[in-house]
Structure 1
């Protein structure tokens, strides 16, 4: 009797995986708008990775590719002076709605000009975030689960937080830099900033080749701190 039950459960799980794979399709998305009409760029994602890069034009270009059942997995909406980009995870319905058969992942690519961008706000639940060769007045990143990599970025104020994931900031410049993490390693290298504050609950903090003008504050409850 036990063998029959085990076989039935196995069949249900395998069937669920097959249905999940065939119901999800690869979706592509691409659009753009003039950066001069945008004050704040807001990005909300449930599970996809986000990659920022420098744009060679005066337009903000957004493209995405990934597997998800939604017809439009990524939405692009202009709200006054705000440009809102969002991705929500598709939930299964019916019998298989209570099961998760892997992440229907993808990547959102955002290219922004060197100037004309005041604020960039990123809120991510489960995915990696990468910022490279961009600049803005204020950059705020709130990541629940996933790594954050910041390279060659400049801003007046930079705030980077993560509940479960590492934060790496390299070759960048900020007037004020604030890094907060609950679980994950924090690494800073070749940073120019007048005010730096790093707070970590459980993780290693590594600081190398940093030029600080006024203050440098590093705090961790459980983890090593290395400054060189």
Structure 2
């Protein structure tokens, strides 16, 4: 037992030494690059651990600003920004090697990106461990794929949005998308005042809460574990509803709702001509529609 404790202390001591060396071997960086918006159609971000902040700008240029830490060795520049045809690519890779590579002692930096209104057709973002903030961006297609970290999206306008999240909370507010697809493994999804005629959300573990939403053509939500709550901004006028939960806890409180089939685990009914669809499936968790 004593040998095991000594070994553990030794490992921690080594880790602490490496961490100290990394800090002492780092310097602050603050770099900025701009691109003429007329030459860019797509923005591609491939980020390992840094935070990302995208926001709207009145400028005619796409501006990328990097704030963070860099190893003293110039070969270890953590962020690469380059123009590839009509695409701007931003790539961030961690440079630590060995036993410390998979340990995080705090955020290392932030990549700020300012994008003019309706400037790029596609924004594709991959992020392993950092947080994401998107504010007031217009694009035809938005694609986000993350392993962990908080995602906060406000004021997005897009024809199509696809968000894949393995872990971490997702917040979408005051946005409009013709099609929205969310695939979440672990983590809650909060959707507030979002207008999306076609929405599909699947979650393995985590709550799905949609507040003050508008009636759409098709809304489908499925969770393996976690509550589902749907709250409309205005009462739907034409809706076909089906809610199925193995937890036998379903409540529907909508003006003009007519029951067709109601059991402990199934609620089925309609409002008006039932031209729009709402389908909710929950294996474990409470389903609420109001």
Q: Do the structures match in fold with TM over 0.5?
A: yes
Please, which of 154, 158, 164 is the counterpart of residue 155 of structure 1? 158
Structure 1 vs Structure 2 CA RMSD: 2.0
Q: Does 1:110 align with 2:113?
A: yes
SS in 2 for 1:91: coil
Q: Which residue of 2 aligns with 1:173?
A: 176
Please, which of 42, 55, 74 is the counterpart of residue 79 of structure 2? 74
* Aligned mates of 2:168, 2:26 — CA distance in 1: 27
Q: 1:1-228 to 2 correspondence within 5 Å? A: 11-69=13-71, 71=74, 72-92=77-97, 97-100=98-101, 102-103=105-106, 105-228=108-231
Aligned-pair CA distance for 1:156: 0.5
**Larger strand proportion, structure 1 or 2?**
1
Q: Which has the larger radius of gyration?
A: 2
* Aligned mates of 2:214, 2:6 — CA distance in 1: 67
Contact 2:198 2:216 in 1 (8 A): yes
Contact 1:27 1:73 in 2 (8 A): no
SS in 2 for 1:118: strand
Aligned-pair CA distance for 1:40: 1.0
Aligned-pair CA distance for 1:15: 2.4
Name stretches of at least 5 consecutive residues in structure 2 with no aligned partner: 232-290
Aligned-pair CA distance for 1:199: 0.8
Name stretches of at least 5 consecutive residues in structure 1 with no aligned partner: none
Total equivalences in the alignment: 224
* Aligned mates of 2:22, 2:151 — CA distance in 1: 29
Alignment deviations for residues 146-174 of structure 1 (CA, whole Å, 9 cap, x no partner): 11110011000011110011111000000
Cα distance change, pair 214–62 in 1 and its aligned pair in 2 (3 A): same
